[in-house]
Amino acid sequence: MALRRAKTLDRSLQSNKEKREHFLEFMHNLIQNNHAEIAPKLDEGAESWYLPVFGIYHPKKPGKIRCVFDSSAKFGDVSLNKVLLQGPDLNNSLLSVLMRFRKNRIAASADVQQMFYSFSVDEKHRDFLRFLWHEDNDLDKQLVAFRMTVHVFENSPSPAVATYGLRKCSNLAEPDVRDFIQRHFYVDDGLISLDSSQDMIDLLTRTQKTLLEEGNIRLHKFASNSDEVMSALPHEDLAQDLKSIDFDSDSVPLQRSLGLYWDLATDCFTYRISEESKPFTRRGVLSTLNSLFDPLGFVAPVIIKGKNRTHTSSYKIHCNQRKILFLTVLF
């Protein structure tokens, strides 16, 4: 199964130059950072599992590919995820994190770099994370066995392992740093608000130092509604589209965190509707309404009114899911 999928991937990469370059770059970084290694020869009777690999692009990051290690792929009705224990749900409540984020005057967000890759897999378990890739990262060379040395995003236990590991790094930290890490993160995104810019600078600096020293974990992609905070932090640790900004004169781009768009200049959440063309049918309208991610309920009056209109309109003209709506849907 893994070999067949590897050959399918090869054909896909050969026919798409841009995807091929992105995929090779990803694999190069994976191996160079020791997140993957050449798999040793298995002892007789030893157990192992091979993960199929494929690449996907995030719709918001078109130039960046992510290699997916497919732990849900089945062979003989068995997949790796089917036999792994998922572990407890250690995530904080998304609503609680967002509510605390809106509590005080100075707000900031941060991201853990490659969170799952920050935690190693015990060597005796790595043979269950094997995959096939080309020797020397050269598509003209033969496929050989590699294995992951770190936890992968697609494994069902990875969220619990990574969240537990992140919090473990804060056990000996100062109380405010420990509180930030344990109560203000949702997976790899940290959002917090405090009363002053100086307090925020101090907390972010000490948290970054704690994670680096205790777990070799990098906290970066900082953003804040305070220019003073962003100016005081290392330039290379700011969010990608803030690195080239002159905070005294340039307009600050929207930041995206936990699925929401945050306007730093006004300190407001804003919403964007996809420009993807959808048919003006009941299904198309509902698809547009449901695409608005709104965990705090700010646009609920608009969404509810829109849904109500589609129900009313569809009833009046007796349309089905696919029939075109000629009535205007008011928002």
Of 57-61, 111-115, 279-283, least confident by mean pLDDT is 279-283
What pTM value is reported for the model?
Answer: 0.83
Higher pLDDT: 271 or 305? It is 271
Residues of the chain with CATH 3.30.70: 94-115+157-242+251-260
Number of other residues whose CB lies within 10 A of the CB of residue 77: 6
- Asked which of 49-53, 156-160, 298-302 is least confident by mean pLDDT, the reply is 298-302
Instruction: Indicate the range of 7-11, 26-30, 173-177 predicted with least confidence.
Output: 7-11
pLDDT category, 259, cuts 50, 70, 90?
Answer: confident
Q: What is the mean pLDDT of the chain?
A: 88
Question: Which of 52-56, 82-86, 109-113, 318-322 is predicted least confidently?
Answer: 318-322
Note the CATH number of domain 94-115+157-242+251-260. Answer: 3.30.70
pLDDT tens per residue, range 182-229: 999 999 999 999 999 999 999 999 999 999 999 999 999 999 999 999
For residue 117, is pLDDT > 80? yes
Which residue did the predictor score with more confidence, 108 or 318? 108
Fold of 1-85+121-148: HIV Type 1 Reverse Transcriptase; Chain A, domain 1 (3.10.10)
d(CA 80, CA 202): 43
User: Which pLDDT value is given to residue 277?
Assistant: 67
Q: Where in the chain is the domain with CATH 3.10.10.10?
A: 1-85+121-148
Average pLDDT estimate for 221-244 = 93
* Confidence (pLDDT) at 159: 95
Query: Per-residue pLDDT averaged across 32-56, rounded?
Result: 93
Which pLDDT score, from 0 to 100, does residue 323 have? 45
How many CB atoms within 10 Å of residue 101? 23
Give the percent of the chain with pLDDT over 70: 90
